[in-house]
């Protein structure tokens, strides 16, 4: 017997998923070393303001070809500040909310 009750796809996502202001982590993966890390930190600082130093962690890929850069947590005032950015070597791949902080 076959199941004929399938859903046409996932349910629609609500327009407002997050509440603002909140603190958020940004993760980018791309090629390059220290210059890539600095470029990603600058991207976040330009959007959220660079008054205070922005925390940043990095991790190289197993063969050293790519660098994962995690920037934050930083305070985000509205969803327009969360849009993806890229500099040609990488793009934001994850934006995660920091639970319990606002």
* Total count of domains within the chain: 1
Residue 67: which residues within 8 A CB-CB, separation 6 or more? 29, 30, 31, 32, 33, 36, 37, 58, 59, 60, 61
Phi/psi for 4 (5° steps) reads -105, 10
Mean pLDDT (whole number) for 15-24: 77
Strand, helix or coil at 40? helix
Work out the pLDDT band at 5, boundaries 50, 70, 90: low
CA–centroid distance for 73 within its chain: 10
Q: How high is the pLDDT of residue 61?
A: 92
Q: How confident is the prediction for the chain on average, in pLDDT?
A: 75
Q: How high is the pLDDT of residue 18?
A: 73
Q: How high is the pLDDT of residue 59?
A: 94
Choose between 63 and 100: higher pLDDT: 63
41 within a domain of the structure (yes/no): yes
Q: How far apart are CA 101 and CA 76, in angstroms?
A: 11
For the full predicted model, state whether its pTM sits above 0.85.
no
26 within a domain of the structure (yes/no): yes
CATH number for the domain including 34?
3.30.70
CB 97 within 8 A of CB 18: yes
Q: Domain containing 36: what range?
A: 22-97
- Over residues 41-50, the pLDDT tens digits come to 888 888 887 7
Look up residue 87 and give its two tokens.
Answer: 């500099």
CA–centroid distance for 38 within its chain: 15
């Amino acid at each position: 017997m076959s199941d004929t009750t399938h859903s046409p796809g996932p349910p629609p996502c609500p327009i407002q998923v997050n509440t603002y202001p909140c603190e958020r982590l940004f993760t980018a993966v791309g090629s390059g070393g220290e210059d890539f890390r600095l470029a990603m930190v600058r991207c976040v600082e330009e959007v959220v303001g660079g008054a205070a130093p922005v925390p940043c962690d990095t991790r190289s890929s197993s063969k050293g070809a790519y660098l994962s850069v995690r920037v934050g947590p930083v305070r985000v005032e509205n969803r327009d500040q969360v849009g993806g950015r890229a500099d040609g070597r990488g793009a934001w791949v994850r934006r995660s909310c920091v639970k319990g902080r606002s």
